[in-house]
A = this chain, B = another copy of it.
Amino acid sequence: MCRWLAYSGTPVLIEELLYQGHHSLIDQSLHSKLGAETTNGDGFGLGWYGEGEEPGVFHSVEPAWNDRNLREFAAHVRSPVVFAHIRASSGAAVQQTNCHPFRHGRFLWMHNGLIHDFHRVKRDLVLEVATELYPAILGATDSETLFFLALTFGLEQDPPAAVARTIGLVEEVGHRHGIEHPFQGTIATTDGIRLWAFRYSSEGATRSLFYSSNVDVLRALYPDNPLLQGFGSESRLVVSEPLGDLPGVWNEVPEASYGVIQPGADELHPFAPVAA
């Protein structure tokens, strides 16, 4: 339904992440190969960490491919952690408050996929959002509802546990409404230091998700690539679809699993929802 990119590592100009590669995220906004839709033109969003305690977010309802402000911004802002998302609406209005990434405190959140038959379960799900968090919901998407459920279930303390409870609830409520496969998608979240990426769907056939190989390995593979030489060993990308077709660069995140990008060794674990 959408395409996204998450980066953590050496501070980079955002344009190096968005516009470079044979199949950059901006190119994917026009010609996605692996997405449910080929066009992701219903707005986009950026999140980044820099000045200030909280990350900044930039949301636009225009298609990313021709947006001049995005191009300006990306060419002039450098950040160690970047989230970028291009949207293909599954129904909710094209408006800034429906654009990813969503933010709460130091956390960012983005999602590719959907809660099936969301209009049937929305009320029951929103009722589970903590009363004190409820007024901070700004938009109308399933993705933002997932974020606020995860916050309710302790995202800021233990992201994998909070996401497991969130999707567990979505499945429970969905099944109660007779929906066979309630959840589908990939999710990325970060506090600006660690980054978690999830791949799961109720039917066991989740939208694609890839992570980049270790930079040291890539440098050995491609000794002449100047971009790689500038990247620190800890740099890592997680993406809905590969940004190019260099062999050895992209690894698929396995079905029903999640990864953690962090200082030190990164991790990859199995993922399963947890019922309430």
Interface residues of A (CB under 8 A from B): 13, 30-31, 37-39, 41-42, 48, 50-52, 56-63, 65-66, 68-69, 72-73, 75-78, 89, 93-97, 119-120, 122-123, 127, 131, 134-135, 137-140
Contact = CB atoms under 8 A, between A and B. Distances in A.
Given A56-B75, A76-B56, A134-B123, A93 B95 contact: yes
Contacts of A120: 135
Contacts of A140: 97, 137-140
A120 B134 CA distance: 9
Nearest to A57: B72
Given A95-B95, A95-B97, 19 more contacts: A30-B38, A41-B65, A42-B66, A50-B76, A52-B76, A56-B72, A56-B76, A59-B68, A59-B69, A61-B62, A68-B93, A73-B73, A93-B95, A93-B96, A93-B97, A123-B131, A123-B134, A123-B135, A139-B140
A60 B119 CA distance: 25
A58 to B, nearest CB: 5
Nearest to A67: B94
Given A95-B97, A120-B135, A13 B51 contact: yes
A190 to B, nearest CB: 16
B59 A78 contact: no
A152 B200 CA distance: 38
Contact of A96 (B31, B65, B68, B77): B68
B42 A63 contact: yes
A122 B97 contact: no
Nearest to A60: B69
Contact of A63 (B38, B41, B57, B97): B41
Contacts of A37: 30
29 contacts: A13-B52, A30-B37, A30-B38, A39-B39, A39-B41, A41-B41, A41-B65, A48-B76, A50-B76, A51-B77, A52-B75, A52-B76, A56-B75, A56-B76, A58-B72, A58-B73, A59-B68, A61-B62, A62-B94, A73-B73, A93-B95, A93-B96, A93-B138, A95-B97, A120-B135, A122-B135, A127-B127, A139-B140, A140-B140
Contacts of A134: 122-123
The residue in A77, A89, A122 that gathers the most chain B C-beta atoms within 10 A of its C-beta is A77
B123 A94 contact: no
A97 B95 CA distance: 8
A94 B66 CA distance: 7
Contacts of A77: 50-51, 76-77
A77 B76 CA distance: 9
